[in-house]
Structures are given as structure tokens and as C-alpha cells.
Amino acid sequence: MKRIISLLVLNKPGVLNRITNLFSKRNYNIESISVGLSEQEGMSRITCVIYVESDQQSEQITKQLNKQIDILKVTDITNQAVVARELALIKVQSNPHSRNEIYSLIEPFRASVIDVSKDSLVIQITGESEKIEAFLELIKPYGIKEIARTGTTAFPRGTQRQSQQKHNFSIV
């Protein structure tokens, strides 16, 4: 089961090391971790996507993270209405024949081409992870040369709905 955990941490040397250390010490499985500055000075926001086997395990992770002295706030936002986005850069093989076809695939996904060379294209796509997966699936037959993904970053939407829907974020 996938959980998204959002952390507000002090922006100090070694904080990320403490968190990854905790994950490896407790044998938790991280899918992605993304770090960046937050709106508050001296603090960073970290978004972790992890795989857990049970609710009990995800509660343990939250509690262990809360114990960390450099972590100010831990929120498991999996069941909230969230905006979750990931960015991927994909280098695809292309030739004059296939280029148009690839462009036609890019359009509905609102991805963009940010570099073109004789035999390849670099595509930039943002969205939730499932959307990126779907796009990769489509583009695979053309020959993917390289992929770089940022991992999910997320936070709760301004308005939380009463009913919890599974997919309460748009595809774009």
C-alpha cells in the first residue's frame, strides 16, 4: 500500500541523512523522496512516497519520523485531497519519420519537447505518477534512451472534501 508523507524539517546539514537512515534502520521501503525549500525560512519540505504492508506499519513510520528532533511536522496526506506532482525528463529516439507521431502523443498529455537533436528528443512531462507511467508506456515503442524522474512532491489542497475519493486530483 502506497503512502504519501509530507515532512516539514529544519534546513540543517545531515537532516536528509537522518531520514534515509531511519528508513533503512527500520527496514521501510521508499519509492521516492523529494526535498526542497519551503515557504518558511530555514525549513524544507520533504515528500516521501513509501510502500507499507499495513496501517500499523505506516503509523510506526509516522511516529518514528515524529521522534526526529529536526522534523517539525509529519503529515500522512495519503487519504487527503492532495495535489501531487512529479516531473520526468525522457530522452526518446526519433527520426524525421517518427517525430510527428511522437508530437501527437505529447499533446494530450500536455508534455513538451525541450531539446531536439538529429536522432533524439527530450520530453518534459509533469503530473501525478500514474500519468507519467501511462505516457512512458505509450512512448516506449519508439525507444527510450534515458529517463530522469524527480519523485512525487505533494501537499493537501486548500479545500478538503467531505467524502474521500480515491482519485481526487485531475490528470493535468
Partner 1 sequence: MVREAALTEEVKTKLETITGADLLMDALERENVEVVFGYPGGAVLPIYDKIYDAKFLHVLPRHEQGGIHAAEGYARISGKPGVVIATSGPGATNIVTGLADAMMDSLPIVAFTGQVATSVIGSDAFQEADILGITTPITKYNFQIRQLEDIPRVIKEAFYIAKTGRPGPVLIDIPKDIASTITERPEEVEMELPGYQPTLKPNRLQIRKLSDAIGAAQKPVILAGAGILHSKGANELLQYVEKTKIPVVHTLLGLGGFPSDHPLFIGMAGMHGCYTANMALSQCDLLINIGARFDDRLTGNLEHFAPNAKVAHIDIDPAEIGKNVPTVIPVVADAKAALLALLQEECNEPAHSEWMETLKQWSVAHPFHYDKASPKLKPQRVMELLYENTKGEAIVTTDVGQHQMWAAQYYRFKHADRWVTSGGLGTMGFGLPSSIGAQIADPDSCVLAIVGDAGFQMSTQELAVIQEMNLPIKIAIFNNQSLGMVRQWQEFFYESRFSHSKIPVQPDFVKLAEAYDIKGYTITTEEEAERVLAEVLHTREPVLLDFRVDADENVFPMIAPGKGIHEMVGVKE
Binding site for partner 1 (CB under 8 A): 9-10, 13-14, 17-18, 21-22, 25, 56, 59-60, 63-64, 66-72
Q: Which is nearer to partner 1, 8 or 89 (CB)?
A: 8
Q: Which is nearer to partner 1, 25 or 118 (CB)?
A: 25
31 touches 87 (CB < 8 A) = no
Q: How far apart are CA 167 and CA 172, in angstroms?
A: 13
Distance in Å, CB of 22 to partner 1, minimum:
8
Distance in Å, CB of 25 to partner 1, minimum:
5
Distance in Å, CB of 31 to partner 1, minimum:
22
Q: Which is nearer to partner 1, 59 or 146 (CB)?
A: 59
Sorted by sequence, the CB contacts under 8 Å of residue 168 that are 6+ apart come out as 81, 82, 157, 161
Q: Which is nearer to partner 1, 67 or 110 (CB)?
A: 67
Q: How far apart are CA 9 and CA 4, in angstroms?
A: 16
Closest of 113, 159, 157 to residue 135, by C-alpha: 113
Q: Find cell 518558511 and name the residue.
A: 40
Q: Find cell 536522432 and name the residue.
A: 119
Distance in Å, CB of 18 to partner 1, minimum:
6
